[in-house]
Amino acid sequence: MVAAADPAHELVLVGGGHTHVQILTDFAARPMPSCRLTLVTDRLLTPYSGMLPGHVAGLYRHEEMHIDLARLAQAARARLIHAPAEGLDRREKLVCLEGAPPLPYDTLSLDIGITPDLGAIAGAERHGLAVKPIGSFLHRLEPLLASAAQPDGPRRFAVVGGGAAGIEIAFALNARLHGIAEAHRLGAGAFAVTLVSGEEIAPSLNEGARRRILAHLAGKGIAVISGFRVAGIDPAGIRAQDGRVLAAEAVLIATAARAPSWLGRTDLPLAPDGSVRTRRTLQVLDDEAVFAVGDCAVVTADPRPKAGVFAVRQGPTLAANLRTRLRGGAMREHAAQRAYLTLLMTGGRHAIAARGRWFSLEGRLVWHWKDLIDRRFMARFSAGR
């Protein structure tokens, strides 16, 4: 706890991820005059990943899947610093920023996400297109899709990563390419999409959901290669560790991810995947003044997979505990749910639901269910737009 009602208390949020956007709305609804709130972000529009596949497939517009951080910060009376954080001096309590002076904090919270570990695949940085950060992905995807419409454009696409993100991106990409082929009269079968996975497809989902996914992939002509551990990517395609080669002119990467590398240059306690290790209160293990949430963090005593649902659920706990830092009182321990609902779109207005070891369901109604959940989430951040 810090001195109550300290007028100069600097509360700094780094990253406008799924948890921090809720802090901004919380502080907009119930301002805390005793602190100065600052949001540091490398992007003014933060993407909502739940709608990304729908956007790639052409079902949502760019603005429908982005949250306007400048507007949220204004509503929360927060100062906004548009610069990436690149370091941390915990002794002096400073956040180091790229192209801006160091920023003092009394309380700091990190919600900066993760990105695929491109360093693990030779040539991935140069020849692959990582689905995260989503902003950079979309920036590079649109020109790629535009070139696909050209006579000499890419025809063979590979998506690397057999988890939920890779599966959804493969479905979405396939749907979008289908539309391009139709619009430009390229003929059915103009494009080939292959989903490549080191293990089996969707290892974290139950058997019924996996069967449904595989049936839809096959039905849409998306080839699946599992047990293909990618060693390298070059302009001709991808190479597996066992020497197999898959020809592809475009390779999208949705593999296991790591926390941003700059965290590794700090003295924060980190898990092997680079995530910041926290207590159940979401405070860093060895530091009461620093919180870390979402994909870039792991609650050491109660780890969960990296998924937006967990980042979203941490919002109320983080909001309560940041207020406790300012006002005093007991910190709340976060209780993350065990089983969670996965909703995967299959390219059109159709989706597959999975939860726990047994439940799976699919259909157009499931899509409408997913669409409703996603639109409801986004509506919380778009009031007055």
Ligand X SMILES: Cc1cc2nc3c(=O)[nH]c(=O)nc-3n(C[C@H](O)[C@H](O)[C@H](O)COP(=O)(O)OP(=O)(O)OC[C@H]3O[C@@H](n4cnc5c(N)ncnc54)[C@H](O)[C@@H]3O)c2cc1C
Reading phi first (left if > 0) and then psi (alpha if -120 to 50, else beta), residue 189 is in left
The candidate with the shortest Cα–Cα distance to 141, out of 191, 176, 99, is: 176
Among 112, 259, 298, 319, binds ligand X (CB under 6 A): 112
**Which of the ranges 101-109, 164-172, 187-195, 315-323 carries the binding residues for ligand X, by CB under 6 A?**
164-172
Tell the smallest beta-carbon distance from residue 306 to ligand X (Å).
5
The candidate with the shortest Cα–Cα distance to 207, out of 354, 363, 367, 364, is: 354
Tell the smallest beta-carbon distance from residue 125 to ligand X (Å).
17
Q: Does 334 bind ligand X (CB under 6 A)?
A: no
Q: Does 205 bind ligand X (CB under 6 A)?
A: no
Instruction: Decide the pairing of beta strands 79-82 and 35-41.
Output: parallel
Residues in 271-310 that interact with ligand X by CB under 6 A: 294-296, 306-309
Q: Does 53 bind ligand X (CB under 6 A)?
A: yes
The overall longest dimension of the chain from CA atoms, in Å, is 69
Among 11, 40, 201, 298, binds ligand X (CB under 6 A): 40
Tokens representing 372? Answer: 């409703």
Q: How far apart are alpha carbons 343 and 369 in whole angstroms?
A: 9
Q: Does 362 bind ligand X (CB under 6 A)?
A: no
Tell the smallest beta-carbon distance from residue 58 to ligand X (Å).
15
Q: Does 113 bind ligand X (CB under 6 A)?
A: yes
Tell the smallest beta-carbon distance from residue 141 to ligand X (Å).
11
E strand or H helix at 23: helix 20-29
Nearer to ligand X, 177 or 254 (CB): 254
Q: Angle of helix 134-148 relative to helix 164-183, nearest 10 degrees? A: 30
Q: Is the peptide bond before 7 cis (omega within 30 degrees of 0)?
A: no
Binding site for ligand X (CB under 6 A): 14-19, 40-43, 46, 49-50, 52-53, 84-85, 111-113, 131-133, 165, 168-169, 254, 260, 294-296, 306-309, 311
